[in-house]
Amino acid sequence: MGYLKPDVVSLENGTLKALKEDSTEIYARSSDIESNHITLTVNAPRRLTAITADGIPSSVRKNTTLDLSAAKVTTLDQFGKAFTPEELAAYPASVRWTLEKNDTHAVISGNTLSFGDQEGTMTLICAAVNADTSVIVERRLSFASQTLPPAAARPAAEVEEEAAEASPFPTPRYRPASMSTAPSPYLPRLPPRATP
């Protein structure tokens, strides 16, 4: 068997061994007769090259918590293919959350980010680390802990009108003739009550 780039593959006891990431052509030869050439591509080992984190708000209220396990975290290789949880564990790598530039009272415990009673900004880091906890790739997210304004109060008249419409016995918007305070011609007149 022959090959055009001996620095890409080598032949040892009838077995081809890949030496580096590249392409070459291999072929068979017998005396002066040479077969057709076949292109052989040697791919690099799969590497963890990127991480994304979605579902994290840009601002939160003070004295609240954020469940980081609800965020969508994706780890990608050099070909843009996502790692499954099993593939990531076998890499080996795992996802870690940390805080940086934290001028609030926020702390992380497990996958829960708790905010204190102090306003400020912080940087949340989502990183994939190896068994030695060395960062392989990371994603930085900046957001603020603040007092968000309450929802605007609705006018009382609007609330009362909506409640009246929702009631099974709505308040009439006008007084029909049957509810008039004028004396009815069909009822007998009562004499005025004597004053003692």
What digits encode the pLDDT tens for the residues 158-187? 656 666 565 555 555 555 555 555 555 655
Using left for φ > 0, alpha for ψ between -120 and 50, and beta otherwise, residue 31 falls in left
Banded pLDDT at 196 (limits 50, 70, 90): low
For the full predicted model, state whether its pTM sits above 0.85: no
Banded pLDDT at 125 (limits 50, 70, 90): very high
CA distance 52 to 75: 7
The answer on pLDDT for 59 being more than 90 is no
The answer on pLDDT for 98 being more than 70 is yes
Find the mean pLDDT for residues 128-156.
77
Banded pLDDT at 61 (limits 50, 70, 90): confident
Nearest by Cα to 147 from 104, 99, 107: 104
Banded pLDDT at 148 (limits 50, 70, 90): low
Answer for the pair 54, 71: CB distance below 8 angstroms, yes or no: yes
Banded pLDDT at 136 (limits 50, 70, 90): very high
Q: Please give the pLDDT value at position 9.
A: 76
Which residues, 6 or more positions from 14, have their beta carbon under 8 angstroms from its beta carbon?
none
What digits encode the pLDDT tens for the residues 18-34? 777 777 887 787 888 88
Beta bridge partners of 142: 123
The answer on pLDDT for 129 being more than 90 is yes
CA distance 153 to 133: 50
